[in-house]
């Protein structure tokens, strides 16, 4: 299907959805230019609290979470075909969420406080550009219309977790299971249309992660409260949310109450909000070793010019399923392009590289992983002692002293990724040659992505560690991904 045909299909879907009584876009125009969701560094005292994690503990939990996530993405990729984005116009408004890093809680992702319902109830959600459904822990009361759906009774309430109580909200509205949305429109969001005991029972979902059903609940439309850049609070009505009764805690969500999905499904948060906010969102991920109590923001709309680095570069932005991705033109080590087939990097041919805030390490397709590791580790042999470390293929013992950071970084080959349009990401050495314990062992922080699916396609993933120390702008209307080095300190 051509891009033009797909865009026409999505617009038709929006029309059908609206005449069935379900608005998938906010009906009101925003009155300000920016919305901020506060973003706090992962080592900030308010997140770290009394909990202390060694490098070893953190890395092992990170590897566990990444392994689960890789299974999730592989499973979803088998179920879904590549999709595109709608062509809609914005009116220049924007807003931001505070973004909280989750490293100190044993997860690799970043948190945002998220306010939903009328009056608003606040939750802490994991920011995930690789998920298309926004959901939170929820206690949906059972009644005669939803018996057999994913509802709960008061005796089932888990008081150890924060939960959304729909009966306390004036704007909560479930999606009937006999509706066109449930029977057809939400299939890509893993709706369960056969679970429909009565026509008005809520549409339910079994959101699969790998071979297990992690999130189970019902779909609803609700108001989300955000704070505009002028300090005024604004309610955005009719946002699709998932009211999740239970999930598999082995996913490693730490203190999170749910997922803030930033993927681009036609019913997701981003696709339903971006048209009113300049068609873009952005974030800046701070240095994982920065111990300062800094704040940052996940922003929808145009940031103030003084917040943006002056040297932004732009790559062509595409989609891989519901996820944002880019086509890679080449991998360079110390300025030399590695001999890797161009086909593995091309989105149009089933490859490409996903940009994923929920994944920690960067994963490479097998045909690229081996030459990348070889090119990086060979120059270090004889300079540092090779060691074995669980979960990594290439590790070295680096002598520890207070002044050796500049020295060892100068010995590590410079790694660069060139994207379609010729721009290059030049990550800091410490975001790909990472600490894995407290004794000076450092490893190349890459994973091997699974082999391709039945069609032979496979994808690489740009994880959030290599995204650190950069501003990232997802310009959806402009079909481009902007990035530039940044300390993120201007956004504190």
Q: Are residues 287 and 313 in the same domain?
A: no
CB atoms within 10 A of CB 385: 14
**Residue listed under structure tokens 């060694």:** 54
Residue 423: CATH number of its domain: 2.40.70.10
Q: Are residues 19 and 123 in the same domain?
A: yes
Q: Are residues 297 and 351 in the same domain?
A: no
Structure tokens belonging to residue 474 = 């997802």
Catalytic residue numbers, as ranges: 128, 356
Give the DSSP H/E element, type plus range, for residue 17. Answer: helix 3-19
259, 131 in Cβ contact below 8 A?
Answer: yes
Domain count, the chain: 2
Q: Say what the pLDDT of residue 265 is.
A: 79
Least confident of 243-252, 293-302, 365-374: 243-252
Q: Are residues 337 and 455 in the same domain?
A: yes
Higher pLDDT, residue 14 or 46: 46
Q: Are residues 289 and 316 in the same domain?
A: no
pLDDT tens per residue, range 267-297:
888 888 877 888 899 998 877 666 555 567 8
Helix (H, G, I), strand (E, B) or coil at 127: strand
Cross-sheet strand order for the sheet of 424-425: 336-337, 328-333, 415-419, 424-425
Question: Which residue, 269, 301, 333, sits at the end of a domain?
Answer: 301
Q: Are residues 96 and 150 in the same domain?
A: yes
Q: How many CA atoms lie less than 13 Å away from 15 in the CB half-sphere? A: 6
Helix (H, G, I), strand (E, B) or coil at 388: strand
Give the range of the structural domain holding residue 318, as residue numbers without chain letter: 309-491
Q: Quick check: 108 pLDDT over 60?
A: no
Structure tokens belonging to residue 336 = 């030399």
Question: pLDDT > 90: what percent of the chain?
Answer: 35
Closest CA to 258 of 329, 358, 334, 364: 358
pLDDT band at 128 (very low <50, low <70, confident <90, very high): confident
Q: What is the dihedral angle through the alpha carbons of 270, 447, 249, 45, rounded to the nearest 10 degrees?
A: -80
330, 308 in Cβ contact below 8 A?
Answer: no
Question: Following DSSP, what letter does each residue of 33-75 receive, concatenated?
Answer: SEEEEEEE-TT-HHHHTT----HHHHHHHHHHHHHHHHHHHHH
* Selection from 4-13, 49-58, 134-143, 277-286 with the highest mean pLDDT: 277-286
Q: Are residues 80 and 99 in the same domain?
A: yes
Q: Say what the pLDDT of residue 276 is.
A: 81
Q: What is the rounded CA–CA span in Å between residue 189 and residue 191?
A: 6
- Write the DSSP symbol of residue 152: B
Q: What share of residues in the chain are helix, strand, coil (percent, to 5)?
A: 25, 35, 45
Q: Are residues 37 and 154 in the same domain?
A: yes
pLDDT tens per residue, range 347-371:
887 788 999 887 889 999 999 999 9
Q: What is the rounded CA–CA span in Å between residue 217 and residue 223?
A: 18
Question: Which residue, 280, 301, 322, sits at the end of a domain?
Answer: 301
Q: Are residues 291 and 382 in the same domain?
A: no
Structure tokens belonging to residue 203 = 């549409």
451, 459 in Cβ contact below 8 A?
Answer: no
Question: Which residue, 301, 328, 344, sits at the end of a domain?
Answer: 301
Closest CA to 324 of 265, 256, 249: 265
Burial class from Cβ neighbours inside 10 Å (0-12, 13-18, 19+) for residue 78 reads exposed
30, 233 in Cβ contact below 8 A?
Answer: no
236, 226 in Cβ contact below 8 A?
Answer: yes
Q: Say what the pLDDT of residue 336 is.
A: 97
Q: Are residues 186 and 94 in the same domain?
A: yes
Q: Are residues 162 and 29 in the same domain?
A: yes
Q: Say what the pLDDT of residue 194 is.
A: 87
Q: Are residues 61 and 186 in the same domain?
A: yes
- What is the greatest pairwise CA distance in the chain? 72
Structure tokens belonging to residue 12 = 């038709």
pLDDT tens per residue, range 59-105:
776 676 666 666 655 555 554 433 333 333 344 456 776 665 444 33
Find the length of the chain.
Answer: 492
Q: Answer whether 0.75 is exceeded by the pTM.
A: yes
**Residue listed under structure tokens 């900030």:** 44
């Amino acid at each position: 299907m051509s891009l033009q045909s797909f865009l026409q299909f999505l617009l038709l879907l929006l029309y059908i959805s609206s005449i069935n009584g379900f608005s998938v876009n906010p009906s009101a125009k925003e009155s300000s230019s920016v919305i901020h969701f506060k973003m706090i560094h992962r080592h900030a005292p308010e997140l770290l609290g009394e909990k202390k994690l060694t490098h070893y503990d953190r890395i092992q939990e990170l590897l566990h979470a990444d392994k689960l996530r890789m299974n999730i993405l592989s499973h979803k990729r088998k179920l879904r075909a590549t999709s595109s984005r709608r062509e809609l116009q914005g009116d220049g408004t924007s807003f931001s969420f505070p973004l909280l890093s989750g490293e100190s809680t044993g997860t690799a992702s970043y948190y945002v406080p998220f306010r939903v319902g009328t009056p608003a109830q606040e939750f802490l959600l994991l920011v995930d550009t690789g998920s298309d459904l926004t959901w939170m822990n929820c206690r949906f009361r059972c009644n005669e219309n939803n018996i057999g759906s994913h509802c709960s009774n008061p005796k089932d309430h888990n008081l150890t977790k924060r939960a959304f109580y729909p009966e306390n909200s004036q704007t909560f509205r479930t999606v009937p299971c006999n509706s066109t949305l449930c029977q057809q429109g939400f299939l890509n969001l893993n709706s369960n249309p056969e679970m429909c005991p009565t026509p008005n029972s809520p549409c339910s979902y079994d959101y699969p992660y790998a071979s297990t059903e992690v999130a189970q609940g019902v779909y609803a439309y609700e108001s989300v409260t955000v704070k505009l850049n002028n300090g005024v609070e604004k309610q955005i009505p009719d946002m699709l949310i998932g009211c999740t009764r239970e999930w598999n805690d082995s996913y490693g969500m730490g203190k999170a109450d749910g997922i803030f999905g930033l993927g681009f499904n036609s019913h997701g948060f981003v696709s339903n909000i971006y048209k009113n906010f300049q068609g873009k969102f952005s974030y800046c991920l701070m240095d994982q070793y920065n111990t300062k109590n800094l704040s940052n923001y996940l922003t929808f709309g145009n940031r103030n010019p003084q917040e943006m680095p002056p040297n932004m570069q732009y790559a062509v932005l595409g989609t891989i399923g519901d996820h944002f991705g880019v086509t890679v033109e080449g991998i360079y080590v110390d300025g030399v392009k590695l001999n890797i087939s161009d086909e593995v990097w091309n989105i149009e041919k089933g490859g490409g590289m996903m940009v994923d805030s929920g994944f920690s390490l960067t994963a490479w397709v097998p045909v690229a992983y081996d030459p990348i590791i070889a090119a990086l580790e060979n120059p270090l042999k004889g300079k540092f002692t090779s060691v074995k470390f669980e979960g990594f293929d290439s590790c070295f013992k680096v002598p520890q002293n207070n002044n050796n950071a500049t020295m060892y970084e100068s010995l590590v080959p410079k790694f660069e990724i060139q994207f379609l349009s010729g721009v290059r990401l030049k990550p800091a050495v410490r975001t790909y040659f990472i600490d894995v314990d407290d004794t000076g062992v450092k490893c190349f922080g890459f994973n091997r992505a699974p082999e391709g699916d039945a069609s032979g396609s496979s994808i690489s993933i740009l994880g959030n560690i290599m995204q650190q120390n950069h501003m990232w702008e997802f310009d959806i209307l402009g079909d481009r991904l902007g990035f530039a080095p940044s300390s993120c300190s201007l956004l504190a």
